[in-house]
């Protein structure tokens, strides 16, 4: 069994330099982590290693259903979710890069 000493070494061990540019080969490899924070950190580090331009998309900042039924919207909860990402909520941002599979 091999041991690595840093997240960078782990990423380099799992996604070798000839594997990372090949999305199909990447699908056969994975890094398991106990928290979403660690998974996000690994994904961000790996995404930086992939060549190409990335795009960032933001989630919507309104509750459509509230507007449909005529309820007043409180922006406070939406701001909190966008800044803190509570457990069970998706991230407010999504980064996409050509040839990336995240």
* Dmax (CA) of the chain: 60
Place of tokens 């398991």: 32
pLDDT at 92: 73
Q: With a cut of 50, which residues of the chain have pLDDT below it?
A: 102
Place of tokens 């994904």: 43
| CA–CA dist 91, 31 (Å, integer) | 20
- Rounded to two decimals, what is the model's pTM? 0.63
- Cβ atoms within 10 A of the Cβ of 61, count? 12
Q: What is the pLDDT of residues 55-78, one digit of tens each?
A: 888 776 666 666 676 666 666 666
CB 54 within 8 A of CB 47: yes
pLDDT at 29: 92
pLDDT at 56: 83
CB 82 within 8 A of CB 59: yes
Sorted by where each begins, the domain ranges of the chain are 7-97
């Amino acid at each position: 069994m091999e041991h690595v000493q840093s997240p960078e070494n782990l990423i380099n061990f799992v996604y070798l330099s000839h594997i990372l540019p090949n999305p199909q080969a990447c699908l056969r490899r994975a890094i398991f982590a106990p928290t979403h924070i660690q998974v996000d950190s690994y994904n961000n580090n790996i995404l930086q290693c992939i060549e190409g331009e990335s795009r960032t998309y933001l989630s919507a900042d309104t509750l459509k259903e509230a507007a449909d039924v005529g309820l007043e919207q409180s922006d406070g909860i939406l701001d909190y979710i966008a800044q803190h990402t509570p457990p069970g909520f998706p991230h407010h941002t999504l980064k996409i890069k050509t040839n990336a599979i995240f």
